[in-house]
Amino acid sequence: MSLNDKVVLITGGTGSFGKKFTEIVLREFSPKKLIVFSRDELKQYEMNQKYSDPSMRYFIGDVRDLDRLKLAFQGVDVVVHAAAMKQVPICEYNPFEAVKTNVFGAQNVIEAAMNCGVQKVLAISTDKAVNPINLYGATKLCAEKLFVQSNSYSGENATRFSCARYGNVVGSRGSVIPVFIQQRELGRITVTDERMTRFWITLEQGVRLVINALDQMHGGEIFVPKIPSMRLIDLAESIASGCEVSTIGIRPGEKLHEVLISRDEARSTVEFDDMFIVQPEFPWWGSHNLSGGKSLPEGFEYSSDNNSHWLSSEDIHRVIKDEQTEI
């Protein structure tokens, strides 16, 4: 879907993803308007100093506020929903707040989009939503289900809702790389478990996935990119070669390995060269026109420890350099 001459709004637009999305959209498209919707006026002010394109608009608002969303969505063609509480310990300590933002906020975005006649809405999700063991993952799983099945409310020819799901993002808030860099100065790196693996994706790759998904979506799909895995111990050793490495044990709410497609989801998933697409199991709102994909084998699971694509030492050093650039 070309974003030329479209009115595009991104919730949580002052976050890491939102800033990269803005950068790429302004560079490669000519949107009629690009609206940043977020709560933080200072971040909006700082973003406005960098992105002063005449198409830019900045709306103060919270996804918990349905009335404000309805005002912001007037005349909007495309919504990218990136607003969320995502820090695992903070969500656990503030569970009601996590539900209000990640679940009720998702419902509000859906209702406002249908009320205002938005054409397409794409929600950003996470590998933590697959087989969740913490509240953050559980809220994002619930949000995914809301976005997929809300297509049944909008009918055959109205607003369409889909999701993009991916793993750890290089350059995002909360990344472990700045922690390792800081620990390097002390000569001692701490890892939770030497066996731990994670999926890795750059901010730019995440934005490209979202733009591609907006083009391909019919409603109800979950778009999952094919991305590499990395062992956390390899990352630690690349950042702080020669430093002492201490294992401190897996933290509460943390997995040893992450999953992007579960075995049960794989039955309704089709594979393409660069991504997987999880198709809706209850598409009451109409047929889908996906073509060219292939079914996955019985028992397939896309997990960070069984991935066929791993980051090399050179790739890891590039990841570190890219993150320092984003920071």
Residue at 276: amino acid letter: F
% of the chain beyond a pLDDT of 70: 94
Tell whether 76 is covered by a domain: yes
CA distance 163 to 210: 9
pLDDT: which is higher, 235 or 59: 59
Q: Which residues contact 44 (CB under 8 A, 6 or more apart)?
A: 14, 36, 38, 58, 60
Tell whether 232 is covered by a domain: no
Query: What is the rounded average pLDDT of the residues 219-229?
Result: 96
Is residue 287 scored above 90 in pLDDT? no
The winner for highest mean pLDDT among 203-217, 273-287, 305-319 is 203-217
Q: Which residues make beta-bridge pairs with 169? A: 201
Could you tell me the pLDDT band of residue 154, with boundaries at 50, 70 and 90? Answer: confident
Among 179, 168, 174, smallest CA distance to 203 is for 168
Torsion on CA atoms 247, 252, 258, 260, rounded to nearest 10: -160
Is residue 326 scored above 60 in pLDDT? no
Query: What is the rounded average pLDDT of the residues 201-209?
Result: 94
pLDDT of amino acid 198: 94
Is residue 36 scored above 90 in pLDDT? yes
* Catalytic residue from among 128, 140, 145, 255: 128
Is residue 291 scored above 90 in pLDDT? no
pLDDT of amino acid 251: 87
User: Domain limits at 276?
Assistant: 7-167+200-227+259-302
pLDDT: which is higher, 230 or 321: 230
C-alpha distances out from residue 31 to 38, 122, 270, 291, Å: 19, 17, 31, 29
Q: Is 100 a catalytic residue?
A: no
Tell whether 289 is covered by a domain: yes
Domain count, the chain: 1
Structure tokens, 1: 């879907």
Is residue 133 scored above 90 in pLDDT? yes
Tell whether 279 is covered by a domain: yes
pLDDT in tens, 244-269: 888 999 988 899 999 999 999 999 99
pLDDT of amino acid 324: 60
CATH number at residue 51: 3.40.50.720
Could you tell me the pLDDT band of residue 319, with boundaries at 50, 70 and 90? Answer: confident
Is residue 155 scored above 80 in pLDDT? no
Across the chain, mean pLDDT equals 92
Tell whether 63 is covered by a domain: yes
pLDDT of amino acid 98: 98
Tell whether 80 is covered by a domain: yes
CA-only gyration radius of the chain, Å: 20
Q: Which residues contact 18 (CB under 8 A, 6 or more apart)?
A: 10, 12, 36, 38, 82
Is residue 95 scored above 60 in pLDDT? yes
pLDDT of amino acid 245: 87
**How many Cβ atoms are within 10 Å of 33's Cβ, its own excluded?**
16
pTM score = 0.94
Tell whether 316 is covered by a domain: no
Tell whether 127 is covered by a domain: yes
State phi, psi for 123 to the nearest 5 degrees: -100, 140
pLDDT in tens, 68-77: 999 999 999 9
Query: What is the rounded average pLDDT of the residues 34-43?
Result: 97
DSSP type of residue 85: -
pLDDT of amino acid 327: 47
Contact 133, 255 (CB under 8 A): yes
Is residue 233 scored above 60 in pLDDT? yes
pLDDT of amino acid 212: 97
Residue with tokens 């609206």: 35
